[in-house]
Structure 1
Amino acid sequence: MPPKRKGPLQTLQRETDELNKQLESLMKEAGQPDGSGRREPFQSRCLQLQHLVEETTKKLQNLTKADEPAPVGNYDQRKEEEMRRLLKIEEQLSALSLELSPSQKQNRGSSTEEDEEEEEEESEEMESSEEEIEDDEKHVDTKAMEQTPDVGTTTYVVISDFQGQEEGDLSIQMGDVLTVLSKNEDGWWLTQDSKGNKGLVPKTYLKVHSEEEDDDGDEEVSENINETHDDPTRKPSSNSDSVKRANTEIDATDILSAMGAIPAGFRPSTLSKLLYDGITHRGSHYIQPELSQSRLSFKDLFLDPVTGKVRQRTVRTSLTLTLWSCKSIPTPGVGVQVLSRHIHLCAFDGSKVLSNIHTVRATCSANNVKTWTFSPRMTGTLPSLLDGNCFLRCNSDTPELGILFELGVTYIRNSTGERGDLSCGWAFLKLFEANGAPVPYKTYELLVHGGTPYEKDVEVDPSIPRGGTGMIQQMMLSRKRPKLFLKLKSPNAQTKSKLSVLPDTLVGSLSNIQLLVLHRQLVADALLIDRATMQNADLICSPFLATFPEILDQSDLLDALRNSWLEAESKMKRSEKRDLPLLKKTFLRVYMDSVYPLLYNAELPPPRWGDEAVENQRGRTIFTSLQNTSTTDPSHIHTSHRPPCQQAFDISQLNYDLLSVAR
């Protein structure tokens, strides 16, 4: 049999293997001093390898699937894997080049093993001395604590429920008043409740109780009771409720951290709080037209009088990006179940959020939960929630403009059933250099920081040291640090044309861009053509305009509309796709037949992030509804199909109120 022809990709794979072998050989030889102290040969070989890696990378970037002599399965995935290997080799060579530079110390000792043994002995001595100091401090603190007169007299109020899990624990409820009998250094205090029951509780569940707070609280409660009694429909003041919720969330995170259930660098999610508190940072808000300063016209919505289409607008930043993966992301510990792993991203200037907050859900395997992956390409009926291809438009002129990525998890505590959102770290990619030029379009490896975006120099997991003494040790520790991999891309001509008709500031999924463009065109027709005068602010009877923004906050309904539209578009002729009036008419019909009835279907439960049961039930209801509406011939409808149970009618389902929704 004749030998199989080797394709260009397979050839480059062999070249990468060879480069990796040369790198390993160079690192091994460079780590064994020969006594001469000469490093020039190693530096020369390192530079040659760097040059070869650059050439191989350029070859790989220029490769296409058409260059292969035979079909190759998973071509794009294999190409991306080779790109990652080359980037890793390039990073190792850069580190080795710094290690071999003349500014580094040349003679580090006669034997690396002896140095490492000495370092280990020194570290053990330091640890033992630190332990002795800590023991002495604990002994002194314990004595001082035993002599403290307020132990046993100061009362504490419980700020969150706690269910005892081991023998000796005291189960408590929020609002209970406890007396502290002794304070242990491990954070578990011996307490006694009003009934005389004694037991241990975490100190993070308690705060000092004062009589003034009781008096203020009693007055607030009495005022709320009186107000409710005077007006039964009026609810008590919600300000105290919101403060309690915020305090409870922070305390819950502190409790999990104190119990060792989460790493020290985890925080309550900053972007989740902004996203769910109101609509200011949602896509449904940013898709609306923006009023000018005079409020008599629009700032970002104009029509081309020749074509009748929305006039394209150029903004300062318009790009696309692909999320690839996150690596070495710590996971919550025992007692905490992860419901969702995701990334929130938005435009950010270092102090405030400048756009809507877009969410992409991550996936991971059971064998490697520390590595998150994203779908690099949307095909078929995959949900857009998993789409790693995103776009960003922002017209801010701040020099600090960038993209903020917050890695988050939605969790539930097994013992209490409490749900919450945690930030596993954040990364920031600045989009402009110091001279004002945009950053290059390439693959970026961003270090994930702990804390909130407003905290600096916080590690996600402080147990991982930042660096070591040797080059190899530094490289090994660098691999353990959490990182985010993504690629910035310049949109092609077709995508750029579509992006230019969208609002000046918007972040979203590329798979839904056609739906947003058609919505934008229909909004322009209703507000700029069909109105009697530009000063007319009467309600507009349009179910589509009144309800379309709602589905931007419900990704499963947005997917249902996208699939229905793709099916309708596949049946259209090429000439019909260029007919804008026909295109808009067809899109309206598809929307009213598919998604509009689902919005007010009583069998469709309200969305709940991270709740698998609710998501599955919504999926079944949406699928059944689309299957029923796809049958256009009434004679084909099965007799078992019954009309869905609809919610009570409200006038807001039909009327578009420009003054209340415009930005």
Structure 2
Amino acid sequence: MAPKRKGPLQTVQRNTDDIKKQVDNLMQEVRQFKGSTESKAITLADASERCAQLQRSVEETTRTLKKLTKADEPAPVGNYDQRKLDEENRLKMIQERLQALALTISPAEKPGPSQNADMPSSSQAKEEVEDDTGAESEEEDSEEEEDDDEDDDEEEDLEKQAETFIAISAFIGEQEGDLTVQKGDLLSILSKNPDGWWLAQDSSGNKGSVPRTYLKVYQDEDEEEEAEDSETEEESEEEMDEVSKTKQRSQKSAWDIVRKEVLEMNATDVLAAMGAIPPGFRPSTLSNLLNEGKTYRGSYYLQPELSQSQLAFKDLFWDPDTGTVRPRTSRTSLSLILWSCRMIPTPGVGVQVLSRHVRLGVFDGAKILSNIHTVRASYNSKNPKTWTFSPRMVGILPSLMDGDCFVRSDSQSPDLGILFELGVTYIRNSTGERGDLSCGWAFLKLFDASGVPVPHRTHELVVHGGTPYEKGVDVDPSITRRATGSMLQQMMASRKQPKLIVKLKSPNAKTRANLNLLPDTLVGSRCSVRLLTLYRQVLADALLRDRLTMQNADLICSPVLATFPQILDQTDLLDALRSVWAEKESALKRSEKRDSELLKTLFVEVYLDTVFPLLHSASLPSSRWADDELESQRARAIFDRAPQGALAALLSADHAQEAFDIAQVTYDFLSPTRAAATTS
């Protein structure tokens, strides 16, 4: 039997695969041989030539692909146009990677082969006319080259004299010895290597190598004005042809655009170019907000909020009749259960998933109005596209896996709802780089157009691709394309759409009473509500009952008030406290459980005996998200230590503590971050 004939499109695909392998090998070799010695410089020169050859191969393959039609195939090919478009996108991403590589190898030269490959016929005709001018055009070109050489010489002299440079773009170190800088950082140049990698030192004293293309000579405002004035005078004295100046400006602007796009390629673009993630995946929006600071953390929203005058509290009041916190009802106060996520695409080869999770918060369509709460999902390796959550946590099971949540918000926005972001934390096998990706998002609006709350039932939410601020983006566009056929095809495609199943329900009377003691805006796990209400009661005693006057803003000596909010960001410590408290509370008599003063005293004792000595223990590793080994070490350090009293634990020779800081035992309710947030 004769072998099956390969079609032209398949041939182009094989050529693209071969080019991609060569590019990957070249980039790996450049990373290995990057340096300042003479032998390495020769290696980089050879790599520059190979890079140019690969760019020419990409251009030639692209031209071949554009000429192909469906009629050229020896046999019918399904979805031909889409396959051809995908191949064009692959070649485009390879070309962008080669441009970025060319910048690294030879920063002073513009990467890429000839730009006349796909030039229109009018441009070619113009070139022919220019060629016919003969000696005149050669003289003009020589004059332009001399002007360019003079500019380059002046720029080189300025660089030799300058010692301070400014970063024009952020650079993240790729290997040991590189210096990570942010856009706008001032750097002192210690040495200028001929390969384009300069040894720099930042304002903090950190040293490392930075690409020359990321740096620019730093000038203050006066120097810049003088430079602009001198440039204006020189330009007015020069008699250059207007046509040639326009041509130079257009070439420069086009190069700046290409250079900017290449330098701003992030890790998500690289993964998309590799085909490791679906088209609808994006960098995690909510994860980035969490990493910006404490503004979107539960520890921040647990603090009392000052009123507009900053002379009283907005959400913490004393009830003299009961001698405790006055309950406050919010516009939104409900229980939310995460059930499962279905048909969620998984990252491809080369990416290892460390965590699958859902982040949620109150959202009005424009901004997040609450803290961001995270719930980790579990999955079966046989069915990785289905995520499940535990409906209730008991015993010592981690609250991070608790799918039973509560939501409180006092916002009056008509578009108020809950934003869910499905995300994964990954690590690239080749580079060891970690990152957070959004696998899609869903929004559950809590009120209809007339302001009536949505019914408390199970909701099946469609998961959209992109970010919450993008509309009409699909997680997997191929599923949407299949839904354009018959009714049966649409039904089958609908079953394959990514979806999130959640259930809204009204809290029972006991849970509602506890929720009304919490801040007006807060999202969290329902298993921690009891601990949060006890903390709020201790906080109310210190701020509203025991202060000498309401105008007294002195620091309060209380380790519980000073450190308890921190454990909301370290869920394993919160689980340890919850476990010990459940044992203590179950041993109380019924009359003792109704004694609020006894419960508050017992809560403080349990906290000081269990969690407080661990917060600043030298043997407890710092927490890190989605690190299984570190989480196991922390779990052993937490649960293997038997409660022995705060003073005994702090003075014990077996358990070393960090250096003492007065902030560990003093509480300041007028902290700058909280005051600034209330006044903004």
Shared fold (TM-score, shorter chain, > 0.5): yes
Alpha-carbon deviations, 1:25-73, whole Å to 9, x = none?
xxxxxxxxxxxxxxxxxxxxxxxxxxxxxxxxxxxxxxxxxxxxxxxxx
Output the CA distance in 2 between the equivalents of 1:523 and 1:247.
Answer: 53
- Is structure 2 residue 426 aligned with structure 1 residue 411? yes
5 Å-filtered alignment, 1:541-556, equals 541-556=557-572
Tell me the residue number matched to 1:266: 281
Counterparts of 1:469 and 1:232 in 2: how far apart (Å)?
59
Kept in 2: contact 1:391–1:508 (CA 8 A): yes
The Cα of 1:446 is off from its aligned counterpart by: 0.3
Change (3 A) 1:195 1:290: closer
Corresponding residue number in structure 2 for 1:646? 657
Distance verdict in 2 for CA 1:366–1:569, change over 3 Å = same
Residue 194 of structure 1: CA displacement? Answer: 8.1
Aligned-residue offset at 1:577: 0.7
2:334–2:408 CA contact under 8 A, matched in 1 = yes
Pair 171,596 (structure 1): closer, same or farther in 2 beyond 3 Å: same
- Judge conservation of contact 1:163–1:172 (CA < 8 Å) in 2: no
* Structure 1 CA distance for aligned equivalents of residues 104 and 669 of structure 2: 58
Partner secondary structure for residue 463 of structure 1: helix
- Deviation, 1:457, is 0.5
Q: 1:548 to 1:169 in 2, by over 3 A?
A: closer
- Displacement of 1:475 in angstroms is 1.5
The gaps in structure 1 that reach 5 residues or longer are 1-127, 139-161, 204-209
Partner of 1:188: 94
Residue 574 of structure 1 corresponds to which residue in structure 2? 590
Q: How many residues align?
A: 486
Q: Which residue of 1 aligns with 2:364?
A: 349
2:636 corresponding residue in structure 1:
620
The corresponding residue for 2:546 is: 530
1:1-20 matches, within 5 Å, as none
Structure 1 residue 461: deviation in Å?
Answer: 1.1
Cα gap change, 1:403/1:202 in structure 2, threshold over 3 Å: closer, same or farther?
farther
Match of 2:307 in 1: 292
1:468 Cα deviation after fit: 3.9
Q: What corresponds to 1:507 in structure 2?
A: 523
Is residue 428 from structure 1 mapped to residue 440 from structure 2 by the alignment? no
Verify the 8 A CA contact 2:612 2:646 in the aligned structure 1.
no
Shift of 1:235: 5.5
Correspondence 1:324 to 2:339: yes
Is residue 459 of structure 1 aligned with residue 474 of structure 2?
Answer: yes
Unaligned runs of 5+ in 2: 1-6, 36-43, 63-90, 114-150, 168-184, 191-200, 216-260
The 5 A counterparts of 1:230-379 are 234=204, 251-379=266-394
Following TM superposition, by how much is the alpha carbon of 1:645 offset from its aligned partner in structure 2, in angstroms? 1.2
**Between 166-175 and 376-385, the greater mean CA deviation after superposition:** 166-175
Q: Secondary structure at the match of 2:166?
A: helix
Give the structure 1 partner of residue 408 of structure 2. Answer: 393
* Shift, 1:251, TM fit: 0.8
CA distance in 2, matches of 1:195, 1:298: 60
Residue of structure 1 in register with 2:225 after alignment: none
**Counterpart Cα distance in 1 of 2:263 and 2:431:** 14
Aligned residue for 1:225?
A: 188
Structure 1 Cα separation of the partners of residues 321 and 525 of structure 2: 30
For 2:628 and 2:202, how far apart are their aligned partners in 1? 37
Helix, strand or coil at the partner of 1:188: helix
Q: 1:428 to 1:193 in 2, by over 3 A?
A: closer
Partner in structure 2 of residue 145 of structure 1: none
Tell me, in whole angstroms, the C-alpha distance in 1 between the residues paired with 2:265 and 2:427. 15
Task: State the match for 1:100 in structure 2.
Answer: none
- Residue by residue over 1:385-433, the C-alpha shift from the partner in whole angstroms, topping out at 9 and shown as x without a partner, is 0000000000000100000000000000000000000000000000000
Partner of 1:61: none
> Is the CA contact (8 Å cut-off) linking 1:267 and 1:452 kept in structure 2?
yes
Q: Sort the Cα spacing of 1:256 and 1:526 in 2 relative to 1 into closer, same or farther, 3 A.
A: same
Deviation (angstroms), 1:226: 9.1
Deviation by residue 1:167-191 (Cα, 9 ceiling, x = unmatched) = 5555345999985522524233466
Give the partner amino acid of 1:307.
Answer: T
Deviation at 1:219, TM superposition (A): 1.9
Secondary structure in 1 matching 2:329: coil
Task: Indicate if the aligned counterparts of 2:163 and 2:189 stay in contact, CA closer than 8 A.
Answer: no
8 Å contact from structure 1 (residues 163, 171) kept in 2: no
Distance 1:649 1:631 in 2: 14
Report the RMSD for the aligned CA atoms in angstroms. 3.9
Q: How far did 1:573 drift?
A: 0.8
**Deviation of the 1:469 alpha carbon:** 2.8
CA deviation string 1:295-323 (max 9, x = no partner):
00000100110111110111111111100
Give the distance between the partners of 1:327 and 1:334, measured in 2 at CA.
21
Secondary structure in 2 matching 1:444? strand
Q: 1:619 is aligned with what amino acid? A: A
Q: Secondary structure at the match of 1:326?
A: strand
Other-structure match for 2:555: 539
The residue identity in structure 2 corresponding to 1:659 is: L
Residue type of the alignment partner of 1:335: G
SS of residue in 1 equivalent to 2:266: helix
Could you tell me how far 1:217 is from its partner in structure 2?
Answer: 11
**Deviation larger for 373-382 or 508-517:** 373-382
Q: State the distance in 1 between where 2:23 and 2:640 align.
A: 44
Alpha-carbon separation, structure 2, partners of 1:272 and 1:508: 16
C-alpha distance in structure 2 between counterparts of 1:219 and 1:326, whole Å: 50
Q: Summarize the Cα distance change of 1:459–1:192 in structure 2 as closer, same or farther, 3 Å threshold.
A: closer
- Who is 1:143 aligned against? none
1:472 positional shift: 2.3
Asked whether the equivalents of residues 250 and 268 of structure 1 are also in contact (C-alpha less than 8 Å), the reply is no
SS of 2:598 mapped into structure 1: helix
Q: Distance in 2 between matches of 1:397 and 1:273?
A: 26
Deviations 1:345-367 (A, max 9, x none): 00000110000000000000110
Do residues 497 (structure 1) and 355 (structure 2) align? no
Equivalent residue, structure 2, for 1:156 = none
Question: Would the alpha carbon gap of residues 650 and 165 (structure 1) be closer, same or farther in structure 2, given more than 3 Å must change?
Answer: farther
Query: Residue 6 of structure 1 aligns with which residue?
Result: none
* 1:465 positional shift: 2.6
Distance 1:233 1:437, change over 3 A: same
Change (3 A) 1:629 1:475: farther
Which residue number in structure 1 is paired with residue 465 of structure 2? 450
C-alpha distance 303-192 of structure 1, shift in aligned 2 (>3 A): closer
CA distance in 1, matches of 2:262, 2:300: 28
* Partners of 1:370 and 1:567 in 2: CA distance: 38
**Could you say if the C-alpha distance between residues 571 and 202 of structure 1 is closer, same or farther in structure 2, counting changes exceeding 3 Å?**
farther
Contact 1:188 1:202 in 2 (8 A): no
Is 1:444–1:485's contact at 8 Å kept on the other side of the alignment?
A: yes
2:536 maps to 520
Q: Which moved more, 1:459-468 or 1:343-352?
A: 459-468
Residue type of the alignment partner of 1:536 = N
Q: 1:630/1:443 Cα in 2 relative to 1: closer, same or farther (>3 Å)?
A: farther
CA distance in 2, matches of 1:452, 1:255: 18
**Closer, same or farther: CA 232–327 of 1 in aligned 2, 3 Å:** closer
Distance 1:571 1:164, change over 3 A: farther
The structure-2 alpha-carbon separation of the partners of 1:287 and 1:628, relative to structure 1 and needing over 3 Å to count, comes to closer
Asked if the contact 2:164–2:187 (Cα under 8 Å) also holds between the matched residues in 1, the reply is no
For 2:571 and 2:498, the matched residues in 1 are separated by 28
Q: Deviations over 1:199-233 (max 9, x none)?
A: xx999xxxxxx989997996227954399xxx998
Q: 1:165 to 1:601 in 2, by over 3 A?
A: farther
Correspondences of 1:20-169 after superposition (within 5 Å): 167=25
